[in-house]
Structure 1
Amino acid sequence: MDAKLIQFVETIVYVITGMIAFGVGFSIIRKVTPFSIRKEIEEDQNIALGIIIGCVILGLAIIIAAAISG
């Protein structure tokens, strides 16, 4: 096979693996919190919670990227 095709397939596999890991991590966060994150951010306009959730998302993304890249 062509080296670029192999690289493309590996990239797709890593993207899918990373998205699944990210989804599992975020669903764990949603289950652990005692309140509705969606309601707090959208309806109650809780900016602090939005910043915290954004930081958690960035942290998960950094951890997943480090795990995938080795």
Structure 2
Amino acid sequence: MAATKEQKELKANAEDLLAYNGKDYDDWLEEKHREVVSENIPLLMNLLKKERKAAGTGTASQNS
């Protein structure tokens, strides 16, 4: 998906603000990715638990 002019400007502004505060944009973005994953660990674990339970009953699709 191509970024719009507004999205490019928003990113440039964020990069400038982060740089002003001594932070690297890519490092900050990686931190945000980690936060999203970490915040959703309970959801992921519940989904895995349900998948395991369903696989035990023979109703889950298996990728073999």
Give TM-score, length-normalised by structure 2. Answer: 0.40
Structure with greater helix share of residues: 1
* TM-score relative to the length of structure 1: 0.38
| Structure with the greater alpha carbon radius of gyration | 2
